[in-house]
Amino acid sequence: MNTNIHRLTQTLFYQGFKYAGLQNSNQCFCGMTHGYYGKMPEDECNKKCQGDKEEICGAYYRNSVYILGREKSKTNACRDIIKSFG
């Protein structure tokens, strides 16, 4: 997937989801809850997005998690794989 944070979060917001998770530079997850496995150190999210090398899209088994709404905002948390997404 050619991931771009803005495009992805906007699409998922309009589909009614509350959270988006980007993982390993090219995977996305969405859901109404997050945080099943807890917060990981922010520096563990270190893979650049395939669609925009200036953005970070998680890492291997790590999600960059975004809260979706009128103003999307990063939760400032690198989370491990989120069971409740998808």
Please tell me the total count of domains within the chain.
1
In this structure, is residue 52 part of a structural domain?
A: yes
3-state secondary structure of 51: coil
In this structure, is residue 86 part of a structural domain?
A: no
- Structural domain span for residue 43: 5-80
Contact residues for 1 (Cβ-Cβ < 8 A; gap 6+): 26, 27, 28, 50, 51
Q: How confident is the model at residue 77 (pLDDT cuts 50, 70, 90)?
A: low
pLDDT digits (tens, 9 = 90+) for 11-62: 888 899 999 999 999 898 999 998 888 888 989 999 999 888 899 999 999 9
In angstroms and rounded to an integer, the radius of gyration of the C-alpha atoms of the chain is: 11
Question: Which pLDDT score is estimated for 80?
Answer: 47
In this structure, is residue 85 part of a structural domain?
A: no
pTM here is 0.74
